[in-house]
Amino acid sequence: MEIGSVKRIHMNEWKNTGVPFFRARDIVAKFNNKKISDPIYISEETYNSNILKSGKVKKGQLLITGVGTIGIPYLITDDSPLYFKDGNVIWLKNNNYDGNFIFYFFTTNLFKNYLFKITGTGTVGTYTIENAKKTPISTPQINEQIKIGKLFNILENLLALYERKLKLLSQVKKYFLDNLFAEKEYPNLRFKGFTDAWEKIKLKDTQTTLTDGNYANLYPKPADMTDADKGIPFLTGGNLKNGILDLENAKYITKEKHSQLKSGHLEEDDIVIAVRGSLGELGYVTKQNIDWNINSQLAIIRTSKNELIGKFLLYFFLSSKGKSKLLSRQTGTALKQLPLQQLKTIVVPKTLLLEQQKISNILKTIDKTISFYKGKQQHFAEIKNTLLNTMFI
């Protein structure tokens, strides 16, 4: 494989328009599907002059970052004019190899481990042309390379498809939230059959209760902690994620200690809110979360079901207006918090229970669909990673 660079371009030759000129950071942005900030160009005249000496970047070839975040690949997908910064970027001309196959090799743990080995730690690492020439890679026949490259392209396209679906669903959910909870007497969106004005009421004027996880001298000590098999989830702010209770990195308390902390026992349709630490983060209690417990960072918002449905109130707090109201109640400077007395002053919407239920159900359906596609996306990402690290040896 031919590996090299190009003739140097000086800063005084940089332009605001013309032929794209890639630096290492531009390749990193492309790899992460992000927009290039402060893009640089060179004139067509400079480009045409330099490619006579250095050659032209062609479809199927690769550029690899040699400085900064090193070893990041960029696959050339067409023959449009493109130039890059010498020294910062390495050019793999790979004329006798499949570009997709080589690209995916540079994303494997096999290559990353090699890169770590040759650059070491404690210094700013670089990936040079000489390093690239010495990089070990096993390559099958070109026909097999092409098939492997196509396989990973299919997986990438599936992941991109699910990403687009998730983005669209998030936009749909935001549209519903912003138009249902628009701080109006008559919301922008209504279900058929509902025409009454919405009431605005402070939480303290409802039958809603707020309880925090401050257990004073009963608060769990190290001896009261245990594992998932023997204990009860003891939630922290890190377990609240956009309305969901997530047990990733969760802590657990013994059943004996849990029985002493009765005020923190969760009930179905409760809302859990972070009042310290991850301020304003929310979680919703489903049947699967009943009887879990909370630590001192959290509080429970428990509505009376004859006037407010917890799920309805949760979605209000997840809306732009609701989030703003929550965070406007924070106090303190170095150690910020959301005092319960301040939360009780928040004005919330109230409508007929049947309308609350219908609103909760439609938003719950959107959430379930989002969760479904996230699961699919994660599944194919795991397949891709497994194949990457077994097919390249």
| Model confidence pLDDT, tens digit, residues 143-165 | 999 999 999 999 999 999 999 99
Average pLDDT, the chain: 94
Do 257 and 282 belong to one domain? yes
Do 382 and 266 belong to one domain? no
Please compute the mean of the pLDDT values over residues 185-195 and round it to a whole number. Answer: 91
Domain boundary among 139, 156, 186: 139
| Model confidence pLDDT, tens digit, residues 10-50 | 999 999 999 999 999 999 999 999 999 999 999 999 999 99
The percent of residues above 90 in pLDDT, for the chain, comes to: 89
Give the pLDDT score at 227. 95
Do 310 and 358 belong to one domain? no
| Model confidence pLDDT, tens digit, residues 314-371 | 999 999 999 999 999 999 888 899 999 999 999 999 999 999 999 999 999 999 999 9
Do 80 and 90 belong to one domain? yes
Do 222 and 293 belong to one domain? yes
CATH number of the domain to which 159 belongs: 1.10.287.1120
| Confidence band, pLDDT 50/70/90 cuts, at residue 122 | very low
Give the pLDDT score at 124. 56
Whether 174 shows a pLDDT value over 70: the answer reads yes
Give the pLDDT score at 335. 85
Q: Which of 188, 165, 167, 166 is nearest to 177 (CA)?
A: 188
Q: Is the pTM of this model over 0.85?
A: no
Do 42 and 100 belong to one domain? yes
Give the pLDDT score at 120. 65
Q: What range does the domain containing 277 cover? A: 199-350
| Model confidence pLDDT, tens digit, residues 356-382 | 999 999 999 999 999 999 999 999 999
90: exposed, middle or buried (C-beta count within 10 Å: 0-12, 13-18, 19+)?
buried
Please compute the mean of the pLDDT values over residues 84-101 and round it to a whole number. Answer: 91
Do 186 and 329 belong to one domain? no
Do 29 and 114 belong to one domain? yes
- Total residues found in the chain within this entry: 393
Do 220 and 336 belong to one domain? yes
Give the pLDDT score at 123. 46
Whether 111 shows a pLDDT value over 90: the answer reads yes
Do 217 and 326 belong to one domain? yes
Give the pLDDT score at 96. 84
CATH number of the domain to which 279 belongs: 3.90.220.20
215: Cβ–Cβ under 8 A, 6 or more apart, which residues? 260, 261, 263, 264, 296
Do 251 and 225 belong to one domain? yes
| Model confidence pLDDT, tens digit, residues 274-285 | 999 999 999 999
Instruction: Determine the Cα angle at 124 with ends 121 and 125, to 5°.
Output: 75
Cβ atoms 257, 221 nearer than 8 A: no
Number of structural domains the chain divides into: 3
Do 8 and 43 belong to one domain? yes
Instruction: Give a three-class secondary structure readout of the chain.
Output: CCEECCCCCCHHHEECCCEEEECHHHHHHHHCCCCCCCCEEECHHHHHHHHHHHCCCCCCCEEEECCCCCCCEEECCCCCCCEECCCCEEEECCCCCCHHHHHHHCCCHHHHHHHHHHHCCCCCCCCCHHHHHHCCCCCCCHHHHHHHHHHHHHHHHHHHHHHHHHHHHHHHHHHHHHHHCCCCCCCCCCCCCCCCCCEEEEHHHCCCEEEECCCHHHCCCHHHEECCCCCEEEECHHHEECEEECCCCCEEECHHHHHHCHHHCCCCCCEEEECECCCCCEEECCHHHCCCEECCCEEEEECCCCCCCHHHHHHHHHCHHHHHHHHCCCECCCCCECCHHHHCCCEEEECCHHHHHHHHHHHHHHHHHHHHHHHHHHHHHHHHHHHHHHHCC
| Confidence band, pLDDT 50/70/90 cuts, at residue 118 | confident
